[in-house]
């Protein structure tokens, strides 16, 4: 018999159907047995009058919580049942897998173990409906982004994650044994997505893993995460990139609201607010003035950078003055930006760059790139980089590469902001950090 999803049971009142799922609760009474079965779409009460089938009743008595069941029975409307006002009268049951007991923890309990313990048993943690929803939201996000890219003539690329030489800085790269020599895990597809511009692809995007060997112990860092990267040609400035990004984000927020708005409200207690465009833009110069007015003192050694506390203060200011959850922080000084960011002709100390701050969290960084070979080489040297190690990259710009720019955005950080989570480890399938390589 074909499987019916629990959320569709009401369409089958009076029919005998099969559902498959997990035993969440068993109430084994003297004459009756009640099973609460959960699948990805919901929960249903299944009943058996023990006298009607003593053998089946005995099987049910031996079931453990979270066992996998295939159940067939008659769906009946029953307003007395608190769970959806219907129930299934069991006729046959197949135990697909009996769960060991006791469980390390009960995924349906009110009080949850601490995050680190749940990560040890992530597959149990992911059985919680709230987590199933989180990954459905993630799927919708990625689909919407892809739709928007495809509507705008983007091409998807998959760049290598093994690299022969430390490229940008070298400090934050993982080293791996590669036959007789060393290789490095890519900490960004930056160079390779720019190659797509030199290749004449005009616009490319990539969704892929990114590795950072930073020993960071915070609620927003991981050593491996999924990067959302794009690059577009023939732009006039980083403003074109921001204008694209805000509409691209707006489109995805709308898709999540349309498809999961009600569920997110119910399980995360959060309303999805589709942001208006354009997002507010604040230059670094303005930001420093705002922080001064707000009475926020930056640490002395910031060299024109803004710390997370400053970013949150600015986010509050934007919320108050523009009623917006997002803002672009633009025009960063060259001291805190990589060599490939383009600089203003009339302000050589300032880059045509931006960060996107959402809910006080930095979720993306972008810029117009320097596409002129000579200027790029000079800027690299100015940063103290040896040209030999990046010659393959510089070559991209030697034989005609159009003006271009792009951004990199963190997938899990975006989910943190979208769903109002307090730790990035809640937002990722399996967390990787300095002390976490398992499971």
Partner RNA sequence: GGGGGCGUGGUGUAGUGGUUGAACAUGCGGCCCUGUCAAGGCCGAGACCGCGGGUUCGAAUCCCGUCGCUCCCGCCA
Footprint of RNA on 202-261 (CB under 7 A): 212, 214-223, 225, 227
Closest CA to 137 of 419, 340, 409: 419
Segment near RNA (CB under 7 A); pick from 21-29, 191-199, 271-279, 367-375: 21-29
- The number of residues that bind RNA (CB under 7 A) is 74
Q: Which of residues 86-105 bind RNA (CB under 7 A)?
A: 87, 101-105
For RNA, the binding residue among 18, 25, 70, 91 (CB under 7 A) is: 25
Cβ 146 to RNA, closest distance in Å? 19
Q: Which is nearer to RNA, 269 or 346 (CB)?
A: 269
Please tell me whether residue 124 binds RNA under the rule CB under 7 A.
Answer: no
Q: Which of residues 366-405 bind RNA (CB under 7 A)?
A: none
Give every CB contact of residue 236 below 8 A, 6+ residues apart in sequence: 403
Q: Can you tell me the distance from the alpha carbon of 279 to that of 185, in angstroms, rounded to the nearest whole number?
A: 34
Q: Can you tell me the distance from the alpha carbon of 135 to that of 141, in angstroms, rounded to the nearest whole number?
A: 10
CB 65 within 8 A of CB 101: yes
Q: How much is the CA Rg of the chain, to the nearest whole Å?
A: 27
Q: Can you tell me the distance from the alpha carbon of 214 to that of 212, in angstroms, rounded to the nearest whole number?
A: 5
For RNA, the binding residue among 56, 115, 263, 277 (CB under 7 A) is: 115
Segment near RNA (CB under 7 A); pick from 276-284, 287-295, 323-331, 361-369: 361-369
For RNA, the binding residue among 14, 30, 123, 293 (CB under 7 A) is: 30
Q: Which is nearer to RNA, 214 or 240 (CB)?
A: 214
Burial class (CB in 10 A: 0-12, 13-18, 19+), 371: buried
For RNA, the binding residue among 64, 91, 254, 283 (CB under 7 A) is: 64
CB 369 within 8 A of CB 235: no
Cβ 180 to RNA, closest distance in Å? 28
Q: Which is nearer to RNA, 215 or 402 (CB)?
A: 215
For RNA, the binding residue among 307, 349, 374, 395 (CB under 7 A) is: 307
Q: Can you tell me the distance from the alpha carbon of 426 to that of 416, in angstroms, rounded to the nearest whole number?
A: 8
For RNA, the binding residue among 106, 202, 239, 240 (CB under 7 A) is: 106
What per-residue string of b and e applies to 56-78 under the rule 16 or more CB within 10 Å gives b?
Answer: bbeebeebebbbebebbbebeeb
Query: Between 158 and 187, how does the x/- string for binding to RNA read (CB under 7 A)?
Result: --------------x---------------
For RNA, the binding residue among 34, 201, 344, 373 (CB under 7 A) is: 34
Segment near RNA (CB under 7 A); pick from 77-85, 126-134, 256-264, 285-293: 77-85
Segment near RNA (CB under 7 A); pick from 6-14, 277-285, 301-309, 339-347: 301-309
Strand 42-49, strand 86-97: pairing: parallel
Q: Which is nearer to RNA, 223 or 250 (CB)?
A: 223
CB 81 within 8 A of CB 123: no
The side-by-side arrangement of strands in the sheet containing 404-410 is: 155-156, 203-211, 224-233, 404-410, 361-368, 353-358, 326-330, 281-283
Own/partner long-range contacts of 135-139 (Cβ < 8 Å, ≥24 apart)? 135/429, 136/260, 137/256, 137/260, 137/264, 137/415, 137/418, 137/419, 138/411, 138/415
Query: Between 265 and 284, how does the x/- string for binding to RNA read (CB under 7 A)?
Result: --------------------
Cβ 87 to RNA, closest distance in Å? 5
Residue 154 token pair: 């983007």
Three-class DSSP category at 76: strand
Segment near RNA (CB under 7 A); pick from 112-120, 155-163, 246-254, 373-381: 112-120
| Cα 151 → chain centroid | 22
Q: Which is nearer to RNA, 72 or 412 (CB)?
A: 412
Please tell me whether residue 16 binds RNA under the rule CB under 7 A.
Answer: no
For RNA, the binding residue among 314, 334, 363, 367 (CB under 7 A) is: 363
Residue 251 token pair: 């489109």
């Amino acid at each position: 018999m074909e499987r019916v999803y629990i959320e569709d049971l009401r369409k089958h009142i009076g029919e005998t159907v099969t559902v498959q799922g997990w035993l969440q609760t068993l109430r084994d009474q003297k004459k009756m047995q009640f099973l609460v079965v959960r699948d990805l779409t919901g929960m249903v009460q299944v009943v058996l009058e023990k006298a009607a089938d003593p053998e089946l009743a005995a099987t049910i008595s031996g079931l453990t919580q979270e066992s996998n069941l295939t159940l067939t029975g008659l769906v009946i409307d029953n307003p007395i049942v608190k769970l959806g006002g219907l129930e299934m009268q069991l006729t046959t049951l197949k135990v697909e897998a009996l769960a060991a007991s006791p469980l390390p923890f009960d995924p349906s309990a009110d009080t949850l173990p601490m995050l680190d313990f749940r990560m040890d048993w992530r597959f149990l943690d992911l059985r919680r409906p709230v987590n199933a929803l989180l990954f459905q939201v993630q799927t919708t996000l990625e689909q919407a982004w892809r739709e928007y890219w495809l509507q705008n003539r983007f091409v998807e690329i998959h760049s290598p994650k093994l690299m022969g030489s430390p490229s940008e800085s070298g400090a934050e790269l993982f080293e791996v044994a590669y036959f007789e020599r060393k290789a490095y895990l890519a900490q960004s597809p930056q160079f390779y997505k720019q190659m797509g511009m030199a290749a004449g692809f005009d616009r490319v995007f990539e969704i892929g893993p990114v590795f950072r060997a930073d020993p960071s112990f915070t609620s927003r860092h991981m050593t491996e995460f999924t990067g959302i990267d794009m690059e577009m040609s023939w732009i006039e400035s980083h403003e074109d990139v921001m204008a694209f990004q805000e509409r691209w984000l707006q489109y995805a927020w709308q898709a999540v609201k349309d498809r999961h708005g009600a569920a997110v409200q119910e399980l995360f207690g959060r309303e999805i607010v589709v942001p208006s465009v354009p997002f507010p833009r604040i230059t670094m110069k303005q930001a420093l003035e705002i922080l001064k007015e707000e009475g926020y003192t930056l640490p002395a050694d910031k060299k024109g950078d803004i710390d997370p506390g400053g970013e949150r203060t600015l986010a509050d200011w934007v919320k108050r003055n523009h009623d917006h959850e997002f803002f672009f922080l633009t025009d960063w000084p060259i001291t805190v930006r990589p060599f490939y960011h383009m600089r203003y002709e009339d302000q050589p100390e300032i880059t045509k760059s931006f960060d996107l701050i959402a809910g006080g969290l930095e979720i993306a960084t972008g810029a117009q790139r320097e596409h002129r070979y000579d200027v790029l080489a000079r800027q690299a040297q100015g940063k103290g980089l040896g040209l030999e190690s990046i010659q393959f990259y510089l070559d991209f710009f030697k034989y005609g590469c159009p003006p271009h720019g792009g951004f990199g955005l963190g997938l899990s950080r975006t989910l943190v902001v979208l769903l109002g989570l307090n730790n990035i480890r809640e937002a990722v399938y399996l967390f990787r950090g300095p002390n976490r390589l398992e499971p």
